[in-house]
Amino acid sequence: MDLNWSAEEEAFAAEMRDLLARELTPKLRAGAELATSVYPDHQVSMDWQVRLHAAGLAAPHWLPEHGGRAWTPAQFYLHARERARAGAPALSPMGIHMVAHVIAAFGTDAQKDWFLPRILTGEVFFCQGYSEPGAGSDLAALQMSAVPDGDDFVLNGSKIWTTHAGEANWIFCLVRTSKHERPQQGITFLLVPMDQPGVTVRPLTMISGETIQAEVFFDDARAARSNVIGEVDRGWTVAKYLLEFERGGSAHAPALAMRVDALAKEAQATMEGDPVFAHKLARARIRVDVLEMIELKLLSAAGQGESVGVMASMLKIMSTELAQHITELAYEAAGPAGLAFQPHAAMPGAEVPVHVVPGDGHVTGAAWQAIAPLRYFNERAGSIYAGSNEIQRNILAKAVLGL
């Protein structure tokens, strides 16, 4: 594997830097810098998507016929690196990075023609309906029912931990359309409009105080049979295909490297001269470099037509646990100023209904110290969502080690 970028690739990276410098407004940069979780302020994210779409870069990883770019794997990685270095806010992944790939791979021409352009513009904004109160890591245990009724399905049940359910106008759901001895059978992948009678969203307040997730209830709600992706009763294959993109479809190392480097600068004010903390930071940076080498190796394999496949599980484990560790270091460096609950110093990814903003807007310590505990709390979920890391280790043990 050659770790040196070619002259053409370096020129491509410079082009991306120039574009980002032009398009990233101070508000967009602030939205990324002051974000308290993997999800920035919703309006910031959508404003950034509009700008990227105008430049033809909202979804470069899509097939060119759907609005993507015919880039090499190296160009995709460089684009992710420059975006992280520039401090660009993230886009909500459920539509552009997840269900869009499923629609492109398994959808009908009519589904592709209607949904994909609207996902690009943000007119259609998806949330994900996988987990249920009794079906999390054991997703095949899901019970939400979809009963045929003419040209529709009638839906009853609930989904939980649904990110951005309050903002979404569509949800992609795994529903039970029949029962079999094997629970993976009889599951259907269905696109459901949120703005209809029978759909109720109840926000869930996280330990950070934010309401990014919600529980969604379906009481005789309806979805057209034409919104089935793939085949009825055979949605498990579609669901697994989507999880490859949720768990390992992105380059994580560039953003994590920026977080460690930023923390190293910020912590000088509180931890300067502390050799133990300096050692922890150095070890974190080394772990980021190791992750980057693995991502580059997979990038090289992708350039030869190989699939990420089960390695998506390894990337999910490494990236989420490393992100958690970085927030732990930030919390430690924040010191006493990090003990106060100060969401008004940040731009949370959703409403914080329980916070009280001081009349004078005072913030104890620097902004990064106020944000550190919020990011710490949010990252606790990283090793659970998209399939818990324990489940990912089981997958690797079976598929790679043959255990």
Catalytic center residues: 246
Could you give the CA distance from residue 326 to residue 311 in angstroms, rounded to a whole number?
23
* Residue 402: how many other CB atoms lie within 10 Å: 6
> What pLDDT, on a 0 to 100 scale, did the predictor assign at position 158?
98
Task: Please report, rounded to a whole number, the percentage of residues in the chain having pLDDT higher than 90.
Answer: 68
Helix (H), strand (E) at residue 242: helix 235-248
Please give the CATH number for the structural domain made up of 126-242: 2.40.110.10
DSSP state of 62: S
Average pLDDT over residues 137-148: 92
Threshold 0.75, pTM exceeds: yes
Residue 248 above 60 pLDDT? no
Could you give the CA distance from residue 126 to residue 50 in angstroms, rounded to a whole number?
16
Could you give the CA distance from residue 67 to residue 61 in angstroms, rounded to a whole number?
9
Q: Is the dihedral of CA 182, 185, 190, 196 positive or negative?
A: negative
> What pLDDT, on a 0 to 100 scale, did the predictor assign at position 68?
92
The residue extents of the domains of the chain are 7-91, 126-242, 250-399
Q: Which tokens sit at 89?
A: 């806010």
Instruction: Give the range among 144-148, 225-229, 271-275 with minimum mean pLDDT.
Output: 271-275
Average pLDDT over residues 142-157: 97
Class of domain 250-399: mainly alpha
DSSP state of 155: E
> What pLDDT, on a 0 to 100 scale, did the predictor assign at position 231?
95
Q: Which residues contact 359 (CB under 8 A, 6 or more apart)?
A: none
* Residue 109: how many other CB atoms lie within 10 Å: 7
Q: Which of the four pLDDT bands, split at 50, 70 and 90, describes residue 355? A: low
Q: Residue 244: which of 109, 387, 378 has the closest Cα?
A: 387
Show contacts of 1-8: CB within 8 Å, 24+ apart.
Answer: 1/296, 1/297, 1/300, 3/296, 5/74, 5/78
Mean pLDDT of the chain: 91
